[in-house]
Amino acid sequence: MSHVFPPFEPEEPPRRRGAVRRVTGRRQIPVRLIIPNVFTILGLCAGLTAIRMAVEHRFDMAIAAIVLAAVLDALDGRIARLLKATSRFGAELDSLADFVDFGVAPAIIIFTWSLQGAGSLGWIVVLVFAVCAALRLARFNVALGNNEPDWKSNFFVGVPAPAGALTVLLPLYLAFATDLHWIKDLTPAIMIFTVIIAMLMVSNLPTYSGKKLTRRIERDWVLPIFLAVALGVAVLFSYPYATLAVLTMIYLATLPLGIGYYRQLERRAADDLRRGSIKAADNGAAVQHAPKHPHQTDERRPH
Tell me, yes or no, whether 263 lies in a domain.
yes
pTM: 0.79
Q: How far is CA 277 from CA 280, 281, 288, in A?
A: 5, 6, 16
Tell me how many domains the chain contains.
1
Decide if 68 is inside a domain: yes
Alpha carbon 242 to its chain's center: 24
Residue 195 lies in a domain: yes
Query: Is residue 291 domain-resident?
Result: no
Three-state DSSP state, 135: helix
- Helical (H) or strand (E) element with 156: strand 155-157
Sequence letter at residue 94:
D
Higher confidence at residue 5 or residue 202? 202
Let me know if residue 130 belongs to a domain: yes
Q: Which domain holds residue 128?
A: 27-209+234-276
Q: Is residue 227 part of a domain?
A: no
Q: Distances in Å between the alpha carbon of 297 and those of 36, 127, 179, 283, 303? A: 67, 76, 91, 22, 14
Q: What is the pLDDT of residues 257-274, one digit of tens each?
A: 888 887 888 788 787 777
> How do residues 120-135 score in pLDDT, each as one tens digit?
999 999 999 999 999 9
pLDDT at position 248, please?
94
Closest Cα to residue 103, out of 132, 77, 74?
Answer: 132
β 155-157/21-23 pair status = unpaired
In a domain, 7, yes or no: no
Q: Per the domain annotation, does 287 fall within a domain? A: no
CATH of the domain at 189: 1.20.120.1760
